[in-house]
């Protein structure tokens, strides 16, 4: 296992399964799971100043500005933490800012998992994704269906389609990913482990565990 003060990053296109796999690994290792997407969506739900600002970008499929994202990460990364980052960094500028934060807090990235999935699969997955508005559990109507049609297994409430999972927004998110986030593959090449993101989630997770 990895010692304290270290962590993992998950990168990949939208819909590649980063959140699902990052959360599984956090539970498996008992690490802190830090999802910038979850943090921002909670801010939007609470209608905070940050939420109002971020909402304009998220609804258009655009990346939230680097300075705000770095403030969120700095607040959530404590000294000595064992962590897994989901959804961050998404630009080279964010990666460089993260390097500075990690240095100041005596933290280190152990490995970076890159989940590789093609564009057609991404669109199919995301347009089929549903989320519980209460517990935030993510389902997929193709591969991880709820027991009852579009009802959360835990909270027994109707699942929702997130605004950023609508097809027109998905295409914009893919475009933004190719322009900005894809560059991180080369930035982290010395720590990068490429994982085939297609197939059953449990099989993908087994491949991740085997690469630790």
- List residues with catalytic annotation: 18, 90, 129, 162, 173
Q: State phi, psi for 189 to the nearest 5 degrees.
A: -55, -30
Please tell me the distance from the alpha carbon of residue 23 to that of residue 154, in angstroms, as a whole number.
17
Asked whether the beta carbons of 156 and 65 are under 8 A apart, the reply is no
Helices (H), the chain: 18-29, 36-45, 49-58, 66-76, 92-104, 119-127, 167-179, 184-187, 201-210
Task: Supply the DSSP symbol for 158.
Answer: B
Q: How far is CA 96 from CA 30, 35, 92, 204, in A?
A: 27, 18, 6, 29
Q: Which residues pair with 113 in a beta bridge?
A: 10, 193
Cβ–Cβ under 8 Å, residues 195 and 114: yes
DSSP for residue 198: -
Counting DSSP H helices and E strands in the chain, the numbers are 9, 7
* Euclidean distance between CA atoms 34 and 71, whole angstroms: 13
């Amino acid at each position: 296992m990895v010692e304290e003060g270290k962590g993992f990053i998950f990168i990949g296109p939208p819909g590649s399964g980063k959140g699902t796999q990052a959360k599984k690994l956090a539970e498996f290792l008992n690490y802190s799971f830090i999802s910038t997407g979850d943090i921002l969506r909670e801010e939007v739900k609470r209608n905070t100043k940050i939420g109002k600002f971020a909402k304009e970008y998220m609804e258009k499929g655009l990346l939230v500005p680097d300075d705000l994202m770095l403030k969120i990460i700095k607040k959530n990364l404590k000294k000595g933490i064992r962590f897994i980052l989901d959804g961050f960094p998404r630009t080279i500028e964010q990666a460089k800012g993260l390097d500075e934060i990690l240095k100041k807090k005596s933290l280190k990235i152990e490995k970076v998992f890159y989940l590789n999935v093609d564009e057609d699969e991404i669109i199919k997955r995301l347009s089929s994704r549903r989320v519980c508005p209460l517990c935030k559990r993510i389902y997929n109507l193709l591969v991880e269906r709820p027991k009852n049609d579009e009802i959360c297994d835990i909270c027994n409430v109707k699942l929702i389609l997130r605004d950023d999972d609508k097809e027109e927004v998905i295409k914009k998110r893919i475009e933004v990913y190719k322009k900005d986030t894809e560059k991180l593959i080369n930035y982290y090449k010395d720590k990068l482990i490429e994982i085939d993101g297609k197939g059953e989630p449990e099989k993908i997770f087994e491949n991740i565990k085997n690469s630790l």
